[in-house]
Amino acid sequence: MTRIKKARVPGQIGARKESRENAEQSKDRKRKAKRKGLAPGSRHNPGDAGQQNTGTKAPRDPRLGSKKPIALVPEETSTKRPSLPRRRNRPG
C-alpha cells in the first residue's frame, strides 16, 4: 500500500464551546443521573418512615426478647437431686 498524505481540509480546528444554558442543562442532567437510589443513611434512620402515623403511643423498646430481670448470681438452694437407680452393665 502506498502512503496517503493528510489533506489540508479547511474547517474547525477544535470543538466549539457550549453555551451557558446548554452547559447548565447538561450539568443538571448528570447530577440527577448520579443521585439515583435511596437517601444516605436511610437504613439507620427508621424514624423517617414512621412519621405517617401520628398516634399517642408509648415509645416501644427496640430491644427484642424478654424484659424479665435475670439474677446474675444464682441463689443457693439446699435441695438434693433425687438419685437415679444404677444401671447394670450387661455383657454383650
Q: What is the pTM of this model?
A: 0.27
The C-alpha cell that represents 47 in the structure block: 424514624
51-75 exposure pattern, b = at least 16 Cβ within 10 A, e = fewer: eeeeeeeeeeeeeeeeeeeeeeeee
Task: Kindly tell me the burial class for residue 35, based on how many C-beta atoms sit within 10 Å of its own C-beta (0-12, 13-18, 19 or more).
Answer: exposed
What is d(CA 32, CA 49) in angstroms, rounded to the nearest whole number? Answer: 23
58-91: pLDDT as tens digits: 787 778 888 888 888 888 776 666 677 777 777 7
Determine how many CB atoms are found less than 10 A away from the CB of residue 25. Answer: 12
39-60: pLDDT as tens digits: 777 677 776 555 555 566 778 7
